[in-house]
């Protein structure tokens, strides 16, 4: 293995919901059902615009934005979620953007409120996303304003609670601490919100916390998502594979 993958084993390449048959079926359903959510989606968009404008007006640097391609680290692509599931132990979502739009395996997917998952397969027009609510999911995360990082997993119990592991016991934790994505992976940019600490346990003999994180995202009610492309990922992967090659 050259790179750390989002999954522990290779799933079938063709029998996933990103193929054209299920893509067309789910897309036509979405064309109908999306009308019923328009009002709700509008208010979500307004809220997000509000947040972004707030950020924009409070920026302290010059008024011109650098658009030099060398300085752009990430690209964002908007997509519609046409199929969602959260009741299984391995949940997948389907979006209506695929390799024709530049979506490929191991790209991060988020919504306006928080993290969603990682692209597992992409066909021409659709992509299947491994949700954070998946027992194979393993995402680098950290506590906001510190550099203590761990990995985000899911124990299948609740669809609004995920687990953060490998946070050492010397860290002082409080209920309500915000959890964000860490800088250790090339999939997500650092600082994407994930959730807040609901409760945590520390066994006397254990050296790591068991932390329950309440997700910001309402995983049962999703309609739009953003796919993130890390433009420096090929370089990072090349570097990592070089190190591994040298070790062999």
Partner 1 sequence: MNRTNILIGIRFVLLILAQVLIFNDLNFYGFINPMVYIMFLFWYPIKENRVVFLLVCFLLGLSIDMFSDTTAIHAAATVSIAYFRGPMMRFVFGINYEFQSFRLAQASMVQQLTFLTLLILTHHTIFFTLEIFSFAHASLIMKKVMLTGIGTLVLCFLLRNLFSRDKE
Q: Which residues bind partner 1 (CB under 8 A)?
A: 11-12, 15-17, 19, 21-22, 25-26, 29, 83-92, 94, 128, 156, 159, 220
Distance of closest approach, residue 164 Cβ to partner 1, in angstroms: 21
Shorter beta-carbon distance to partner 1: residue 155 or 241: 155
Shorter beta-carbon distance to partner 1: residue 82 or 143: 82
Distance of closest approach, residue 106 Cβ to partner 1, in angstroms: 17
DSSP letter, residue 11: P
Strand runs labelled E in the chain: 74-83, 90-95, 108-110, 115-122, 127-134, 139-143, 149-153, 161-165, 178-181, 193-201, 210-215, 224-230
Distance of closest approach, residue 33 Cβ to partner 1, in angstroms: 10
Do residues 177 and 211 lie in contact, with contact meaning Cβ atoms separated by under 8 Å?
Answer: no
Shorter beta-carbon distance to partner 1: residue 79 or 128: 128
Alpha carbons 241 and 175: distance in angstroms, whole number: 39
The residues that bridge with 90 in the sheet, in sequence order, are 134
């Amino acid at each position: 293995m050259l790179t750390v993958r989002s999954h522990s084993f290779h799933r079938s390449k063709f029998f996933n919901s990103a193929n054209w048959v299920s893509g067309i079926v789910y897309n036509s359903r979405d064309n109908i059902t999306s009308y019923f959510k328009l009002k709700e989606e509008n208010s979500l968009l307004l809220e997000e615009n509000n947040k972004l404008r707030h950020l924009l007006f409070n920026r302290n640097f010059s008024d011109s934005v650098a658009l030099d391609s060398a300085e752009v680290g990430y690209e964002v692509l908007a997509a519609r979620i046409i199929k969602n599931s959260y009741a299984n132990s391995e949940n997948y979502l389907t979006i209506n953007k695929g390799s024709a739009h530049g979506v490929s395996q191991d790209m991060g997917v988020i919504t306006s409120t928080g993290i969603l998952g990682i692209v597992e397969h992409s066909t021409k027009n659709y992509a299947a996303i491994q949700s954070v609510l998946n027992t194979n999911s393993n995402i680098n995360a950290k506590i906001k304003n510190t550099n203590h990082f761990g990995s985000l997993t899911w124990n299948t119990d609740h669809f609004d609670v995920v687990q953060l592991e490998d946070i050492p016991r010397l860290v002082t934790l409080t209920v309500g601490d915000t959890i964000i994505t860490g800088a250790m992976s090339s999939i997500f940019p650092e600082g994407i919100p994930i959730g807040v600490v609901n409760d945590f346990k520390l066994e006397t003999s254990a050296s790591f916390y068991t932390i329950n994180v309440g997700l910001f995202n309402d995983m049962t009610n999703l309609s739009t998502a953003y796919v993130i492309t890390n433009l420096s990922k090929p370089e990072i992967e090349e570097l990592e594979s070089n190190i591994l090659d040298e070790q062999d």
